[in-house]
Chains A and B, each alone.
Chain A
Amino acid sequence: MTATSKTSILILDDEPIVSKRLQPALEKKGYEVESFYESAKAMVRIRERSFHIVVTDLKMEGIDGMQFLAEVKKLSPRTEVIVITGFATMDTAKESMRKGVFDFLAKPFKLGEIQEVIRKAEEHIRLGKEGKE
């Protein structure tokens, strides 16, 4: 993660429509994006490399989203996680916030909304870095 490189984003959602819609839109904004439909494959990937930002669904077959984001935070504490889910309840939101999630979006949401959250997460990362330097 150097200062000049692109902001990297991993998207995990078992419904293809999410990344099919998000990936091109985010790439256009200059992000480097990798998409996964299966949590197991995403899990393998986060062990190989770290991402600046992870966007993940909570309810999926196989590994639960909550488990996945816990793993992300363990491997790379500075990665910001944004949770997107169709099961929007306050409980899940609170639980994911406790696990250190940056923000929480309930589907359906507008493209502009997630772009805004990602922008804020980026800013957060930048400020965090400056604080450390």
Chain B
Amino acid sequence: MFGLFEHIRTRLLRRRRRERVSLAALFRQFQQVLELNNRILTAIASMHDKLGGDYIFDVQYLRSSKQFIVDTVRELIDAFDAMAPGRYPGLYAAFRDIRHKLESELERRPVLPDVMALSFADIRLKDMDAAGAKSTRLVMLSKASAGTVPPGFAVTTSAYRLFMELNDIEDEIVRLEGSWRDGAMTVQEASGKIRSRILAGSIPPRVRRAMGRELESLRRAAGEGHLRLAVRSSAWGEDGDLSFAGQYDSFLNVRPEDLHDAYRKVLASTYSPAAMEYRREYDFKPNEVFMAVSVQAMIEARTSGVVYSMSPVRRGAGGIEIAAAWGLGSPVVSGEVEVDRFLVGREPEHAVIEQAVAHKPTALRPGPEGAVAVVDVDEELRDAPSLSSEEVRLLADAAIRLEQYFKKPQDIEFAFDRNGSLVVLQSRPLRIEAGDDPQSPALSDVLKEYPVLLSGEGDVAQQGVASGPVFVAWEGRDLDEFPVGAVLVAHLSSPQYAPVLPKASGVVTDIGSPLGHMATIAREYRVPALLNASRATLVLKEGDVVTLDAEQKTVYQGLVRELRMHDFMSDRMEETYEYRLLRRMLKLIEPLYLVDPEEHNFTPQGCRTMHDIARFIHEKAVEILTEIPTTSGASEACPGGRLELPVPMDLVVLDIGGGLTEECAGEEDKPSRRRTIRPEQVRSETLRAFIDGVTLEGVWQSNPVPVDFSSFMSSMTRTFSADSAGVNRMGQNLAVVSDHYLHLSLKLGYHFTLIDCYRSEDDSRNSVQFRFAGGVTGAVRRSRRARFLFEVLKGFDFSVTVKDDLVVARAKGWMARDLNRLMRILGLLVAYTRQLDVSMVSDSRIFEHCQEFEHIAEEAMGN
């Protein structure tokens, strides 16, 4: 950083005329960085919006979106490089890497993460590509508290690819598949040859080591000699698509020492004749086949079985179907034996509609040497039901919850272990075929019979059908009360509702945008969401059951069963290749890994997505500007000066274009640091709003706060560091301002505040970021203050994260429409929070301060 300014300074000292040009150029480049940054963020949001189902897009759209983002990011890097020539060559490398991956995705060469095994405990939704669909769904359902799942790990798709590469099988597969497609070979022959190659392959050392590590931790948990495994397929690209069901092999009760064999067998089943035929039919390319394998600890099952959350046979009436038998579940799944059957209602009480207990003379049990064996069932158990009525109810409840979570009827494999605990072994979508019943009236006619509460208004954030009781999130309501399966109705689509979205069946708001934070979360969980519906909170009444059809922007009174059925039976956009491709491309574009500028990964090398690159550049570009006033020489020609304020804030304003009135432009002979600027000379509305807030009478604490002894000691011993807020240029409080941009770096008391605020052309893509850290007291009080900020900012609909005493709050889109209001609030907050940590002597003070601040803000905003 120093180099550039040294460079500017020497140039400035030598030739004064050039100096203005250089700074002016720097400001112009910075403006360009801002503009490009905004364009990129808008493009990302617009791509994400396409996941919601309201748009029909194609691969051509994905190609052109990719091209736009790639070109714009490249332009951004160039613009930034002009500000700091050659300083971050790593940005180009990071950019090329991401671009290459995006292009691979578009060429049907998916980017798989470089990891060989993943423990279930570490799997997240984003790991679907690595862990495959089955393992990921299993982990997600346990995270959603929809059921207990066995401990285990996934051997990844990358492990599969490495296996195939090291054993040189890929070319062989292409050759054999080719002969089969050309008719030179039967599918059985081709399949047999490929499978024997796989079975004879050796497992790459890296994969062995990764498997060994995971196996060891499973073994430790199970106790020596007790661990047995269930080894199953978890293929890539199977998400949502159930048609692969049953085409791949699974192995039960595998001894740890036999895991390698079982692994090879599961891999080989990728090329079973049925799977090959299926892939040919659905146009899978040979290089689109990646098999991850799920390795689970065997559950010592007392009873096992299958649940259909919606009976495919009794569709109209509904009902949950359960089939169960003693011992292990595979005979139940394959339908080989007589099983106990239960049909229960879908309503919360789950009344038993039908029940048939079978005669069960035998059961499948784990054998002592691995594998499984058919054994006789004890005489007195043969005709007894394998599930208690309590267990039936528990299963029905879990089935509804899983259906709720995955937004489709589910086909669930389960077991009750020796202690009677319910364990979910697998949950996948249940295909319900549309019945060809000529008697049933057309859906469009049926829908005419239902009273319509809302229609035709709003923006679709996520399409789909949802029904449930209305939960109106009125001001101050405790969201912990939100019942599973309710329809969330709120005035604003605020990120504060994020925690209830996984439980909600649907969302309707009066105000909101499909490009906002809440819309993004709704799409993440695929919760049908209609935002900006204007009258939702007026029309929809607490507790009333309604059905939302987001796609048609309609809310019906009551439960519209026919609509739900139609939704359940319909093909899903999520099951198409184009949709999956968009999701995978977004992974390389959208997530933000660079959050904290002081983390070690905040480097060009740390940039994993296009968003990261944009973020990194923005941060560093601002840093260059904020150094100008403290760099001697350069400051002399700065357009701007010291702002005259009624509070002792000592704020220097640097105008990079249109932020101050023209007379503040500065002349070469008058050093700007000595020039003062009056508040009325500020043209930037956001800065004026901030000044209004920060100078509101009575909020700024002008008397020194008495520092108690422990705070004093803590301030003496604490290593003073501004780093956690990213303000490593301490000293001068600074505002960088233009007509549509405002950046504030403030050091007040002993803490640091950064505010970054951008106004877009039509206010629809505004954004504000607020970062806060530091303080004079010990960690506990500082974290209390962080908690205070969290509560307050959340209350004003910011999306807030807290890490130790670092608070980061963001607002964008709809939440940032009224930027002036937000900047006034932030002004108030900055004034109010000075030395607040000192008075945070107990937790109860947090809420006292929240209330007091709320009161102040109300009064100030009312004016």
Partner-B contacts on A (CB < 8 A): 6, 13, 15-18, 20-25, 27-30, 57, 84, 86-87, 107-112, 114
Contact = CB atoms under 8 A, between A and B. Distances in A.
Contacts of B551: 25, 28, 111
Interface stretch (B48-56, B107-115, B688-696): B48-56
A111 B549 CA distance: 13
A109 to B, nearest CB: 6
A29 B444 contact: yes
Given A24-B571, A28-B566, A114 B442 contact: no
A24 B579 CA distance: 17
B570 interface: yes
A109 B50 CA distance: 10
A24 B56 contact: no
Given A21-B573, A110-B55, A87 B579 contact: no
Interface string B565-602: 01100111101111100000000000000000000000
B449 interface: no
Contact of A108 (B55, B563, B571): B55
A25 B443 CA distance: 11
A23 B402 CA distance: 27
A114 B59 CA distance: 19
Q: Which of A6, A16, A87 has the most CB of B within 10 A?
A: A16
A104 B816 CA distance: 36
B278 interface: no
B57 A108 contact: yes
Contacts of A28: 443-444, 447, 549, 551-552, 563, 566
Interface residues on B, range: 20 to 34
B59 A111 contact: no
Which 9 residue pairs are nearest across A and B when measured between Cβ atoms?
Answer: A30-B444, A86-B60, A24-B570, A108-B57, A17-B578, A17-B576, A20-B571, A108-B55, A21-B573
B474 interface: no
A20 B57 contact: no
B566 A17 contact: no
Contact of A84 (B56, B553, B563, B578): B56
B442 A20 contact: no
Given A23-B571, A109-B55, A30 B566 contact: no
A108 B577 contact: no
Given A20-B571, A30-B443, A110 B58 contact: no
A114 to B, nearest CB: 7
A23 B566 CA distance: 12
B445 interface: yes
Contacts of A109: 55-56
B328 to A, nearest CB: 37
B61 interface: yes
Interface in B518-566: 549, 551-553, 563, 566
Contacts of A25: 551-552
A24 B567 CA distance: 8
B442 A6 contact: yes
A86 B442 contact: no
Contacts of B445: 30
Given A17-B578, A21-B56, 8 more contacts: A16-B578, A17-B576, A28-B549, A57-B58, A84-B56, A108-B55, A108-B61, A111-B55
Contacts of A24: 566-567, 570-571
Contacts of B566: 24, 27-28
A86 B50 CA distance: 15
A109 B566 CA distance: 23
Contacts of B54: 110-112
A27 B443 contact: yes
17 contacts: A13-B58, A15-B578, A16-B578, A17-B58, A17-B578, A20-B576, A21-B53, A24-B567, A29-B444, A30-B445, A107-B56, A107-B57, A107-B61, A108-B58, A109-B55, A111-B55, A111-B463
Interface string B423-467: 000000000000000000011110100000000000010010000
Contacts of B572: 20
A17 B60 contact: no
B443 A20 contact: no
A84 B60 CA distance: 12
Given A21-B573, A24-B570, A111 B56 contact: yes
B55 A20 contact: no
A97 B549 CA distance: 34
B460 to A, nearest CB: 8
Contact of A86 (B58, B447, B571): B58
Contacts of A18: 56, 58
Contacts of A13: 58
B56 A108 contact: yes
B67 to A, nearest CB: 13
Contacts of B463: 111
A114 B577 contact: no
A27 B57 CA distance: 20
A30 B56 contact: no
B656 to A, nearest CB: 36
Contacts of B58: 13, 15, 17-18, 57, 86, 107-108
A25 B50 CA distance: 16
A110 B552 CA distance: 12
A114 B56 contact: yes
Contacts of A15: 58-59, 576, 578
Contacts of B567: 24
Contacts of A107: 56-58, 60-61
Nearest to A57: B58
For A6, A16, A20, A28, the residue with the greatest tally of chain B CB atoms inside 10 Å of its CB is: A28
A111 B55 CA distance: 6
Interface in B591-617: none
A31 to B, nearest CB: 8
Q: Which residue of B460, B575, B578 has the most chain A CB atoms within 10 A of its CB atom?
A: B578
A86 B55 CA distance: 13
A21 B460 CA distance: 14
Interface in B49-79: 50, 53-61
Contacts of A30: 442-445
A18 B79 CA distance: 39
A84 B61 CA distance: 13
Given A110-B54, A111-B551, A20 B573 contact: yes
Contact of B56 (A6, A22, A27): A22
A112 B457 CA distance: 11
A118 B567 CA distance: 22
Contacts of A86: 58-61
B443 A16 contact: no
Contacts of B443: 27-28, 30
B56 A87 contact: no
A19 to B, nearest CB: 8
Contacts of A84: 56
B189 to A, nearest CB: 29
A124 B304 CA distance: 60
Nearest to B571: A20
